Structure 1
């Protein structure tokens, strides 16, 4: 049995069986609009039962996982760039961020990207970001006060633009710089900020849990090797994340 932590229904619906996409989509989203006389009123009936019965979430997820297993890259592959699907196995600290009155972003922060010994380090730190609406487990918001800076419309950037309290990541308060002017970050500064999130997570390994899954890359944030041991970061938005109790091997 899989113990899911996160599942994006929207991403799951992006995958359509080859050879009959129009038929499948039509059955999935078919709507019948009954327009009557003004005296009788009108109505809209959305019929999803057929599609839901024939192809439920578990079977669709299994089919999509098989598809991605044949086509995805390992997340530390040098070819893992924006738009590519990657498979990952890592120990994550999970943080839920309030990004608005009714909006929450969940961040999965790799805890194995930096270490005291070179052999313990991964070349790339993984940062997963997505809507907390897709979580399958209860995680209370960790960061309750957020300042919105410069970059509009991105839960990822809003969540990471300023980190004011992080109970789950005790090292973060010391490592992250919070007094930054409210302007859009240049690329290098943004990359350094992402790397400090991963560095903070690596110093809080006692709260990290091993997980695996698939995600689509949104950004690769590379840093020069001489930047104080900070890792390069791969940011991605997950299709699904599950606990991996059999790891590390």
Structure 2
């Protein structure tokens, strides 16, 4: 059985309207294409129903999911991924938003950045990545009740990077995302990245001539792989 770190009941409820209130936040064993998954519910019919529907959703996602390093990804598509990731809350951004970021490697063609809600974490609380030289995401702190896994929340977290510069021009989204990733890389360590895998829905993605491509997505679930 694999240890689940993150499970989005919001995405599950998109497949299964009306069942979100039945999602337990504890442990149940479910077989997925990656192997067994354990999440901890209370015993009973609701837990059995939840486990069966989770398996159905994962199987449906698997049918259309592409490997995350493939070219031509579009927003809204499902991806499967496996990579060394750190997960954390970015200091100064929305405290309800959790990020998963891979460690930079020279030969990796695509960088992976996942964004979601801390409410969907099953593992312990994430680390906090601190950058005291600037404030990040001023706008997102004012978006009370926003879904931290939604594309709009990601854009809000980039509000400082996307703001108008001294010359009156706004930087591109890809430039802002690479700037965010650079700040993350400066505050995290490859040695603490654990190999994780799962499925996620693409928020946006970019190819780059000189830099690795960048894929940004919001996860359905994330689990540790076997050592």
TM-score normalised per structure 1: 0.63
Counterpart CA distance in 2 for 1:109 and 1:90 is 9
Aligned match of 1:87 = 80
Aligned match of 2:115 = 129
Count of equivalent residues: 188
Counterpart CA distance in 1 for 2:127 and 2:181 is 22
Counterpart CA distance in 2 for 1:130 and 1:222 is 23
Unpaired segments ≥5 residues, structure 1: 17-24, 30-49, 116-120, 164-179
| Counterpart mapping for 1:73-152 below 5 A | 73-97=66-90, 99-100=93-94, 103-111=95-103, 113-115=104-106, 121-143=107-129, 146-149=135-138
Aligned match of 2:10 = 10
Counterpart CA distance in 2 for 1:215 and 1:88 is 8
CA RMSD between the two structures: 3.4
Return the match for 1:234 from 211, 215, 223. 215
Q: CA deviation at 1:68?
A: 1.7
Aligned match of 1:216 = 201
Is 1:65 paired with 2:50? no
* Higher CA-based Rg: 1
Unpaired segments ≥5 residues, structure 2: 22-43, 144-151
Q: Deviations over 1:151-208 (max 9, x none)?
A: 7854334545679xxxxxxxxxxxxxxxx77x9643342243145257548x821010
**Structure 1 residues 90, 53: CA separation in 2 closer, same or farther (over 3 Å shift)?**
closer
